[in-house]
Structure 1
Amino acid sequence: MTSAFLSALGGRIAERWLAALALPGLLFLAAFTTAMVLGHEHWSDLERLGAWLDTLAASPASRSAGTVALVALGVLAGAAVTGAAAQSLGTGVELLWCAEPHGPLLRYLADRRLCRWRAADTAFRTALVAAGRARIEGAEEADRLAGIAERHYADRGRIASAPPRHPFGMGDRLAAPGQRLWRAHRLELAAAWPHLWLLTADGTRAELQAARLRLTASARLCAWGVGYLVLALWWWPAALVGGVAVASGVRRGRAAAEAFAELTEALADLHMRDLAAALGVECEGVVDRVLGERLTRTLRKETEAA
């Protein structure tokens, strides 16, 4: 029984290692080798690449099983190291997406997003007033003006649903549930989250974990894209792969952050009464600011005692 369990566990670990590190790393090493052999001048010369491979195959070292085994181990180790580096860089990308506006560059990006949001908000409100005035006056262009207001509303929503505070949209999306719960119920999500997580069913946890893993995978995809963009300095076709990877990673990251934020807020909305019951906080059946303030005071007891 124990040996079967360890065998299954080892198989899962090997499968995950192969999917997350080895295969992407091998692809990157293949692209790196192609870049070094061809370069910009011979970027599409497959015959040149084939001749280089034939030269390697014809070398005396290629006939030694030990040498071949060492080379194979070296390639696998290089792929693993490359994958680990991409994973670390992906973690950095994820932290950057959620970063607070500390430092001149991040503050500049946050202020720039805020200026864009305010401009879009002003355009929306102006168009909305114009559409409302036209509707009251019975003007024929009321529908057209309403459509313009809807487009400006969508433009504002693409920047942020509320005045942005972070340099990147993912940070605002992930911070939005805590802000909305505080405004609506005076519940501090950071203090309540560990307790809500323990009260949550396994299926809900799995959904949240899946959304979180999708965000991490999106950041890692961006990291691979950055690697290919660097490789384009020696072989320009790598820029196409890098650009597609970065764009796809950002797009997937936005969707993952939105899904994770919505699931987080829904979990808090659905389990506030359960949290109150678990903590012994009186709840009259209505989720309001009074209940949220009681929960927040109860959860922050250590801070208040200090």
Structure 2
Amino acid sequence: MTSGFLSALGGRIAERWLAALALPGLLFVSAVTTAVVLGHGHWSDLGRLRDRLDTLADSPASHSAGSVVLVAAGVLAGAAVTGAAAQSLGTGVELLWCAEPHGPVLRRLADRRSRRWRAADAAFRTALVTAGRARITGADDADRLADVAERRHADRERIASAPPRHPFWTGDRLAAPAQRLWRAQRLDLAAAWPHLWLLASDGTRAELHAARLRLTAAARLCAWGAGYLVLALWWWPAGLAGVVAVASGVRRGRAAAEAFAELTEALADLHVRDLATALGVESAGVDDPGLGERLTRLLRKETRAA
């Protein structure tokens, strides 16, 4: 039984390694080989690439089993190293997406997003007031002005769902649930999160974990895209793959961050009263305005002044 379990576990680990590191790494190694052989001058000359492969196949070393094994091992090792590098770079991309505005560059990006959000917010509020007046007075263009207000609201939401504080959209979206819960209920999500996680069902945890893994995978895809963009210095078609990978990674990362943030806020909304019950904190019902503040005081281990 133990050997069967270990075999199954080893098989799963091998599958994950093959999917996450080896296969993308092999593809990148193949692209590097193509770039070295063809370059910019012969970027589409498949015959040149085929001739080089035929030359290698006809060499005496290719008929030696030991040489073939060594080459295969070297290729797999190169693919694994490349995959590990992309994984590390993906972690850096993920940290950058969620970074605080430290340093002149990140502060400038955060300030730019904040100015854009304030301008979009002012435009939305102006359109909303105009649409409201038109609705009250019964103007003929009331419906059109209402549509304008909805578009202005969508423009603001594309920048951030709350006043932005981070250099990138992902960081603000992931921070939005904590901001909303603090403003609405005075609940410190950072202090309450471990307790809420323990109260969540297995299905809810699985959904959150899956969204988190999708965010990590999207960042890793951006890392692969950056590698192909660098490779475009020697073989320009690799740049096309890099652009597609980066654009797809950013889009998938935004979708994963949106899902993770929505699930986080939903978990807090659904289980905050369960948390109060588990901790012995009195609750006056669904609309208890002081529940979040009492939970925050308790979870932060705050004591009242004597």
More deviation, 164-173/148-157: 148-157
Segment of structure 1 superposing worse, 69-78 or 127-136: 127-136
- The answer to whether residue 278 in structure 2 is matched with residue 278 in structure 1 is yes
Q: 1:184 touches 1:288 (CA, 8 Å); kept in 2?
A: no
Structure 2 match to 1:141: 141
* Aligned residue identity for 1:128: L
- CA–CA distance in 1 between the matches of 2:114 and 2:12? 45
Opposite residue 7 of structure 1, the aligned amino acid is S
For the residue of structure 1 that corresponds to 2:42, the secondary structure is: coil
State whether structure 2 residue 254 is matched by structure 1 residue 254: yes
| 1:212 equivalent in structure 2 | 212
Letter in 2 for 1:131: A
After superposition, where does 1:279-294 map in structure 2 within 5 Å? 279-294=279-294
Report what 2:2 is aligned to.
2
Q: Which residue of 2 aligns with 1:121?
A: 121
**1 CA distance for matches of 2:205 and 2:121?**
36
Q: How many residues align?
A: 305
The alignment yields a C-alpha RMSD, in angstroms, of 1.5
Please give the alpha-carbon distance, in whole angstroms, between the structure 2 residues aligned to 1:270 and 1:134.
39
Q: Equivalent residue for 2:230?
A: 230
Label 1:67 to 1:213 Cα distance change in 2 as closer, same or farther (>3 A): same
Consecutive unaligned residues of structure 2, counting only runs of 5 or more, are none
Alignment correspondent of 2:100: 100
Matched letter for residue 147 of structure 1 = D
Q: 3-state DSSP class of the match of 1:242?
A: helix
The CA deviation at 1:296 is 0.8
| CA displacement at 1:304 relative to structure 2 | 8.3
Q: Give the TM-score, by structure 2 length.
A: 0.96
Cα distance between partner residues in 1 of 2:276 and 2:139: 54
**Contact 1:272–1:287, Cα closer than 8 Å, also in 2:** no
Give the match for residue 50 of structure 1.
50
Residue in 1 that maps onto 2:172: 172
Counterpart check, 1:110 vs 2:120: no
Mapped partners of 1:3, 1:53: distance in 2: 42
Q: Report the alpha carbon displacement of residue 281 of structure 1 after superposing the two structures with TM.
A: 1.5
User: Does structure 2 conserve the Cα–Cα contact (< 8 Å) formed by 1:185 and 1:290?
Assistant: yes
Distance 2:117 2:302 in 1: 39
1:156 aligns with 2:159: no
Matches within 5 A, 1:17-56: 17-56=17-56
Q: 1:101 to 1:233 in 2, by over 3 A?
A: same
- Equivalent residue of 1:41, what SS? coil
Distance in 1 separating the partners of 2:304 and 2:264? 26
- Mapped to 1, the partners of 2:27 and 2:48 lie a distance apart of 19
Rounded Cα–Cα distance in structure 1 between residues aligned with 2:275 and 2:135? 47
Please list every run of 5 or more consecutive structure 1 residues that lacks an aligned counterpart in the other structure. Answer: none
Judge which range, 134-143 or 195-204, deviates more.
134-143
Q: Residue type matched to 1:43 in 2? A: W
**Aligned-pair identity (%):** 83
Deviating beyond 6 angstroms after TM superposition, the runs of 4 or more aligned structure 1 residues are 302-305
Q: CA deviation at 1:302?
A: 6.9
